Chains A and B, each alone.
Chain A
Amino acid sequence: MTEQQRAGASGDVSLAGLSKHYGDFTAVRPMDLTIPAGSFFALLGASGCGKTTTLRMIAGLEQPSTGSVSIGDRDVTGLPPYKRPVNTVFQNYALFPHLSVADNVGFGLRRRGVKDTRKQVQDMLDLVELGHLAKRKPTQLSGGQQQRVAVARALINTPQVLLLDEPLGALDLKLRRQMQLELKRIQTDVGITFVHVTHDQEEAMTMADTIAVMNGGRIEQLGSPVELYEAPRTTFVANFLGQSNLVEAKVTGRADGDLLLDAQGNRLALPAARSAADGDHLVMGIRPEKITITYAADAKIADNRNRLDGGVIVDAAFIGVSTQYVVRMPWGQEFTVFEQNMERDPRLVPGATVILHWNPTHGFGLESGDLTAGIAEASEDAA
């Protein structure tokens, strides 16, 4: 019986007060986190946010400055990587160039003393549809094939936790989409806990059950993709995950569970339950696709909707499924609006005066803060 089987069936990963600093630089602030067994968990953030350091501490490749890492009910903090029931799919794969594909995949089994690995290796390679390339060297494979070898090499060891460090970063967009679905399928099939580090918010949302958005060495918000998108709790999350229109507002009153707001002289409503802020001042946010844009001259808008008047279209970009408008508000801020291309109003062209309106329950409230937090980090993705 191997050590990792003895550790028990529960594959919860628990981080308690885990932190890492290099000299004066703090990479990860003390963090408490439990990743439930069998889940597909994503650590999402821009480069330098501490997500990879966190992953490496779970793998044992980095020693934490404080705190502990437990897998199941076993504290593994002091264990070197080769004694942990954890395997990693490395960024750029780190396939051994001097070994064949089959030898790469069988590497872990052989280190653990398994004598005849041929059958297992072949089965694993067949699973990732690379059975016919077993004798090749990694350099002779395409990027997508290398990626699958890296996954096979880790999964064959049936770890309790599989760590994925930007596993799709080196692939082109189309292949990345395909591999996202494939990884998700594999995870559902094998039921192993996946911890996935990525800077790509779309990738995290497609694959993960739970996402932790990291920023500056801390977890900003933890939740399901829907929670994070529909109810972000910080300006960073609102801007980093998808796009948001944010506007400073003052709470002027309460009625029927709604907060009544004054934003740049406009009266708006927001369900109190959808606000993460307590004080008199907050930031009101609304996603671009939740806004309806209407030509101002003949607008008939229901009273129960939030509305902002006096916006002028400065840019309209036709993207096929939708049109994206940039609207300059009377106080100078620019709002982004996505409108589905169903019944396009031909008068909505740059220069037109419009009214923006939305269902108050689609808005969200955030603590006052930097309205642009996370925007720069999100556009880094393009690289």
Chain B
Amino acid sequence: MSALGTLGAGTTGGADTKVTEPKRRGRWVPYALLAPGLLWLVVFFAIPMVVQGSTSLQTGNLTKGYDLTWHWATYWDALDQYYPQFLRSFGYAAAATVMCLVIGYPLAYAIAFKAGKWRGMWLVLVIAPFFTSFLVRTLAWKTILADNGIVVDVLNKLHFTNVTAFLGLTQDDRVLATPLAVICGLTYNFLPFMVLPLYACLERIDPRLHEAAGDLYASPRTTFAKVTFPLSLPGVVSGTLLTFIPASGDYVNAQWLGSPDTGMAGNVIQTQFLRVLDYPTAAALSFILMLLIVLMVTAYIRKAGTEDLV
């Protein structure tokens, strides 16, 4: 493989320079190491973004071809027509992110501080579901949330569905094909992305800090509020980002667990690109989604004030 060849050549080549020219040894080595991978990202990540930006401003059709006409109207039309999907995208993603935090934090906390010798086992159980394709697992939710399944029966008996119906999340005593199902699916799909960074962050906290806080008259609740939680904030920030971003672009959950009324931005992009074949509109929608996410994430990071995320 050419990539492996480059890696090997980079290292040995650097060494030869070291012997003959000690002062300037291997200055080019890092560039040789970086070049192939970065070139790949430039060609297949950065350039496609530019091409997409250009496509979004083109007019024409499949048979005649497209011309760059700086047709900004595509954006206004797309926004005008599909703003509900964008609102839903960010609304569902935000709800799922909050749910992930509520469910994921205690789980990560339990693994980090309470699991003891079972810690490895808990972690395996968090990661293991990943090994089954997420599409197959999402299909399973169709079974779990089926209209006359146990789950929905219990929820109906508890009048939970009445509450959610009041909130506009469910309809007619059913869960499938409602916003609630989509949010549950999103929460389920991205929960590990919340739990793992949280765990990584909590695990690094020295348990002696808890003892020190207790020694200094902090109740367990104060200890959590004043010591543990602030120290876990970097994990909370990366966890929420890792959940929110992919969730807001997802379209499988909305398509399978929702109804046409729960479509998200991803669904529209996919439909425009693969079904309607209206590439400028698909490109414009995708660009809008990207832009909105970048704006939200930047504002969030500014506010949360976190360092290097890579």
Contact = CB atoms under 8 A, between A and B. Distances in A.
- Give chain A's interface secondary structure class: loop
Nearest to A79: B19
B19 A80 contact: yes
A63 B21 CA distance: 11
A80 B18 CA distance: 8
Nearest to A60: B22
A78 B17 CA distance: 12
Contacts of A78: 19, 22
Contacts of B23: 63
A78 B18 CA distance: 9
A214 B151 CA distance: 78
A78 B22 CA distance: 7
Interface centre among B19, B23, B25, by most chain A C-beta atoms within 10 angstroms, is B19
Interface string A46-88: 0000000000000000010000000000000010100000000
Nearest to B21: A78
Nearest to B15: A80
Contacts of B18: 80
Interface residues of A, number: 3
A22 to B, nearest CB: 13
Interface in A24-50: none
Interface string B226-245: 00000000000000000000
Interface in B1-53: 15, 18-19, 22-23, 25
Contacts of A63: 22-23, 25
B17 to A, nearest CB: 11
Contacts of A80: 15, 18-19
B25 to A, nearest CB: 8
Contacts of B22: 63, 78
B278 to A, nearest CB: 56
B19 to A, nearest CB: 6
A63 B15 CA distance: 14
Nearest to B18: A80
A80 B23 CA distance: 12
A29 B18 CA distance: 24
Nearest to B20: A78
A270 to B, nearest CB: 50
A381 B18 CA distance: 37
Contacts of B25: 63
A272 to B, nearest CB: 49
Contacts of B19: 78, 80
A53 to B, nearest CB: 16
B153 to A, nearest CB: 56
A80 B22 CA distance: 9
Interface in A133-161: none
Nearest to B25: A63
A80 B19 CA distance: 6
A63 B24 CA distance: 11
A181 to B, nearest CB: 38
Interface in A80-119: 80
Contacts of B15: 80
A186 B240 CA distance: 60
A63 B23 CA distance: 7
A78 B23 CA distance: 10
A63 B20 CA distance: 12
A65 to B, nearest CB: 9
B18 to A, nearest CB: 6
Nearest to B23: A63
A80 B15 CA distance: 9
Nearest to A78: B22
B104 to A, nearest CB: 34
B14 to A, nearest CB: 12
A8 to B, nearest CB: 23
A63 B22 CA distance: 7
A63 B25 CA distance: 10
A21 to B, nearest CB: 13
Nearest to A64: B22
B15 to A, nearest CB: 8
A78 B15 CA distance: 13
A265 B165 CA distance: 100
Nearest to A77: B22
A92 B22 CA distance: 27
A81 to B, nearest CB: 10
A80 B20 CA distance: 10
A343 B237 CA distance: 71
Interface string B150-190: 00000000000000000000000000000000000000000
Closest 4 CB pairs of A and B: A63-B22, A80-B19, A80-B18, A78-B22
8 contacts: A63-B22, A63-B23, A63-B25, A78-B19, A78-B22, A80-B15, A80-B18, A80-B19
Given A63-B22, A80-B15, A80-B19, 5 more contacts: A63-B23, A63-B25, A78-B19, A78-B22, A80-B18
Interface of B: 15, 18-19, 22-23, 25
